[in-house]
Amino acid sequence: MIRTTTLSFAALLLAVLLAAVSCTKHGFNSRLTIAAIEGVEGEALKQAAVDYEKFTGVHIDVVQFPYANLFEKELLDLNSRTGAYDVIMMDDPWFPRFAESAFLTNMQPLLQKHGKDGPDPDFIASSIAVCRHPYQTGSLYALPYVGNSQLFFYRKDLFAKNNLKPPATWDDVLAAAKTIQEKEKGPDGGKMYGYVMRAAQGNAAVADFMPIFWAFGAEMFDAQGKPSVNSPEGIAALQFMLELGKYTPPGYVGFNASEVSAHLLNGTAAMSINWPAWISAFSDPAKSKVIGKIEFTTLPSARKAGQAEIGNWLIAIPRSSQNSDLAISFLLWATNSEQMKRSAQRGNPPTRKSLFQDADLVKQFPAYPAQLRSLETSRPRPRTSRWNEIENVFGIYLSKANSGELSPADAMNQANAEIDKILQRAGR
Amino acid sequence: MPRSTRFFSAPAARRELLLPYLLVAPALAVLLALSIYPLLYSITVSLQQETASGVVWTLAHFKRLGTDNFFRTALVHTFVYAVVALTFEFLLGLALALLLNQQMRGRGLFRASLLVPMMLPSVVVGIVWRLMLNPDFGAINGTLKHFGVNTESLTWTASPRLALLSVIAVDVWQWTPFVFLVLLAGLQAIPQEPYEAALIDGSSRWQTFRHITLPLLKPAILIVLLLRTIDLVRVFDQIFILTEGGPAFATETISLYIYRTAFRFFDFGYAAAMSFVLLALTNIISVVYIKLLRQ
């Protein structure tokens, strides 16, 4: 009696197991799971997935995470090789980490299966370069989906009023900031600031500083790959940042993108570096007190030509995915001209040159010519798998210098030493 | 033969002997799976390092603790945070408990409204205070401006000097009610007789408080201090929402640094090593409190 119970229980268990196995073997083959970012970038991919399902019958699950969680979810999954995701969306600074750990599928052979020798030449070169490992020269491990790069925002009405020419150099920016802050008032008669930047530790401070750092001729690593942020150029760049800080609203060492945009939208600051995602807000009457008054341009120069930081969203196939053939078909479809145009209409800058020049899109997004120039001349954050750690440390010291806790030279020397420690640990 | 069959066919006496083990087995299994195994695993993680030639056993993570300036600073912040917040929460909580232990009108309303902050999730508290402390659009500076205070330099969480103070103030706001609640319960459990005796002996109010209330309240005080200390040492959520450790590292506590190391830098070994330091700290504190409680 007892034995029959045990036996029948074992049989039941076996049946359940078999059912589960057969399910993974057949039932799930025509389905894909995508890890995507929340917000407009991920939403566009989700819409593409819905359309793709209608055409092909392939069922696609899109799982969306906020920015802070997406990286850790993906890294945990890729590290343990569960194969939970067939397609992942990633911010381009994460790419070296994923590619170096051999977590991603090399796309070259998959493209060949589709009769292509490489990515479409219509993709912008700087966007394809961040999809290759090593940078620019290596194999292709991702496709660029959203073509963000920084832009310089300024109040053209105030520039015209004060006879200022459009800011071409960082010295122009400083001079204009000074003039505007002295002569202008905010919309409610309050204070008007010449500039606004974010210097909250981490990503924020570093993103707003890199264009100044590069324009001053500084480099994060020298030719031998040793950190060199404390070079004379690097220290001069930080000194310049503090100078600009005098024309930035107080408390900017705690600012993130939302505070910067709030000041611009309220008309209490005249210039800033920002990302294209904010452009549409300036023509929204519900949010903006400066409709039609903001101009978008490429980043100012100093000793070297101004360069924006690239911040593309990439899509890739984890090596642990069981459905790479299906995944590549979807990726090629989602990044084709027609689909990317739809994504662009939803508010995501494209990564194809032809779309930046597309008449309908330029009409909808007048900043496209400036965005294209910025993206084509943009440069990536240093390509290292330790970027998160380096950015964190660098940001802390930039923040400390901006709050007056450390002098620019001390901040850069200490940052250099800490970055060196990180590299040494990585090399061990 | 499978074990279960042997159990059912065993003689009654032996079955009785095995039964207790069988009954605790599920609890033990859960404990093993959810507590003991992860603990052992994190010990191995903290002692391993991935190198080009594979995983090696090493003490490097623990050695790094000694040379890591950020770790030391985070430890100091955690200590300051815990001591200052605990002091204020205790003193305010005690004062409120003594006040509301008396017969007065509207006591129930006061008690109930005092508990609201404690009921809110820390994330909500973080977001609400983040908005209130915003230097430009926040309610706090808005109110101060209304009274003619120059708020230009009062940037609260964005100022390296005021940030730690600001996050401590939020913690005090949120958790004083908890201290108050426990102490009030403690006060109400004290019998009336000693007070009556003291009254007859002509004891002053301070003497009554010092020699009757405090000693009889001691168990409640120690329990609430123990719980609050452990929570303060491992504080994470409000600070994460309010400042994310910034500006310029001014509010980075151990928990935030551990989180960053594990999930942003993906260095689980070092994060595990730091977690053991935190575990050791909370254990030492607990032992001290429990010793005091037993006296």
Using DSSP, state whether A61 is helix, strand or coil: strand
Q: Is the pLDDT of residue B151 over 90?
A: no
User: Are A27-141+313-350 and A151-309+384-427 equal in CATH topology?
Assistant: yes
CA distance A388 to chain B (A): 6
Phi, psi of A404 (to 5 degrees): 85, 5
**CA dihedral defined by B5, B7, B13, B16, rounded to 10 degrees?**
-140
- Return the residue of A nearest to B70 by Cα: A393
Contact B249 A254 (CB under 8 A): no
Phi-psi region of A66 (alpha: psi -120 to 50; beta: other; left: phi over 0): beta
CA distance B191 to chain A (A): 52
Q: Is the pLDDT of residue A18 over 80?
A: no
Cβ-based contacts of B135 with chain A (< 8 Å): 250-251
Contact B160 A252 (CB under 8 A): no
From the list A342, A346, A349, the residue with the least C-alpha distance to A368 is A349
Mean pLDDT across chain B = 89
* Residue B120 contacts residue B173 (beta carbons within 8 Å): no
Cβ-based contacts of B245 with chain A (< 8 Å): 201
Q: Is the pLDDT of residue B6 over 80?
A: no
Cβ-based contacts of A6 with chain B (< 8 Å): 2, 4-5
Contact A403 B137 (CB under 8 A): no
Taking only Cα atoms into account, the Rg of chain B, rounded to an integer number of angstroms, comes to: 26
Question: What integer pLDDT is reported at residue A146 of this predicted model?
Answer: 95
From the list A181, A182, A236, A245, the residue with the least C-alpha distance to A411 is A236
Q: How confident is the model at residue A21 (pLDDT cuts 50, 70, 90)?
A: very low
**d(C-alpha A131, C-alpha A344), whole Å:** 20
Contact B153 A200 (CB under 8 A): no
What burial class does residue B188 get, using C-beta atoms within 10 Å of its C-beta: 0-12 exposed, 13-18 middle, 19+ buried? Answer: exposed
Q: Is the pLDDT of residue A12 over 80?
A: no
Distance of CA A72 to CAs A51, A334, B161, B261, B262, Å?
A: 29, 25, 31, 11, 9
* Residue A130 contacts residue A123 (beta carbons within 8 Å): no
Q: Is the pLDDT of residue A23 over 50?
A: no
In the predicted model, what is the mean pLDDT of residues B27-50? Answer: 91
* Residue-by-residue DSSP string for A141-159: --EEEE--B-EEEEEHHHH
Q: Which CATH superfamily is domain B62-294 in?
A: MetI-like (1.10.3720.10)
Question: What integer pLDDT is reported at residue A9 of this predicted model?
Answer: 52
Where do the structural domains in chain B lie, given as residue ranges? 3-46, 62-294
Contact B249 A399 (CB under 8 A): yes
In the predicted model, what is the mean pLDDT of residues B38-67? Answer: 88
In the predicted model, what is the mean pLDDT of residues B154-159? Answer: 85
Task: Kindly list the residues of chain B whose beta carbon comes within 8 Å of any beta carbon in chain A.
Answer: 2, 4-5, 8-9, 49, 51, 60, 64, 69-70, 135-137, 152-153, 155-160, 163, 243-249, 260, 263-267
Question: What integer pLDDT is reported at residue A27 of this predicted model?
Answer: 44
pLDDT in tens, B16-35: 888 999 999 999 999 999 99
What burial class does residue A368 get, using C-beta atoms within 10 Å of its C-beta: 0-12 exposed, 13-18 middle, 19+ buried? Answer: buried
Q: Which CATH superfamily is domain A27-141+313-350 in?
A: Periplasmic binding protein-like II (3.40.190.10)
Q: How confident is the model at residue A1 (pLDDT cuts 50, 70, 90)?
A: very low
- Return the residue of B nearest to A75 by Cα: B266
pLDDT in tens, A353-397: 999 999 999 999 999 999 999 999 999 999 998 999 999 999 999
pLDDT in tens, B246-290: 788 999 999 999 999 998 888 899 999 999 999 998 899 989 988
Question: What integer pLDDT is reported at residue A5 of this predicted model?
Answer: 52
Contact A400 B244 (CB under 8 A): no
Cβ-based contacts of A425 with chain B (< 8 Å): 64
Q: Is the pLDDT of residue A19 over 70?
A: no
The alpha carbon dihedral of B98, B102, B106, B108 has a sign of positive
Model confidence pTM above 0.90: no
Q: How confident is the model at residue B11 (pLDDT cuts 50, 70, 90)?
A: confident
From the list A73, A88, A100, the residue with the least C-alpha distance to A35 is A88
Phi, psi of B35 (to 5 degrees): -120, -55
**d(C-alpha A111, C-alpha A133), whole Å:** 16
- Return the residue of A nearest to B155 by Cα: A251
Q: How confident is the model at residue A251 (pLDDT cuts 50, 70, 90)?
A: confident
Q: How confident is the model at residue B78 (pLDDT cuts 50, 70, 90)?
A: very high
Where do the structural domains in chain A lie, given as residue ranges? 27-141+313-350, 151-309+384-427
Mean pLDDT across chain A = 90
Question: What integer pLDDT is reported at residue B10 of this predicted model?
Answer: 66
Cβ-based contacts of B271 with chain A (< 8 Å): none
Q: Is the pLDDT of residue A215 over 60?
A: yes
Q: Does domain A151-309+384-427 have CATH number 3.90.550.10?
A: no
Question: What integer pLDDT is reported at residue B184 of this predicted model?
Answer: 93
pLDDT in tens, A216-233: 999 999 999 999 999 999
Compute the count of residue pairs across chains A and B with CB atoms less than 8 Å apart: 93
Position B11, amino acid: P
Contact B246 A428 (CB under 8 A): no
Take residue B57 and report the two structure tokens written for it. Answer: 């056993």
CA distance A363 to chain B (A): 35
In the predicted model, what is the mean pLDDT of residues A147-174? Answer: 96
Provide the percentage of residues in chain A whose pLDDT is more than 70.
93
Q: How confident is the model at residue B153 (pLDDT cuts 50, 70, 90)?
A: confident
**d(C-alpha B192, C-alpha A191), whole Å:** 63
Contact A254 B263 (CB under 8 A): no
Q: How confident is the model at residue A47 (pLDDT cuts 50, 70, 90)?
A: very high
Contact A250 B155 (CB under 8 A): yes
**d(C-alpha A26, C-alpha A20), whole Å:** 10
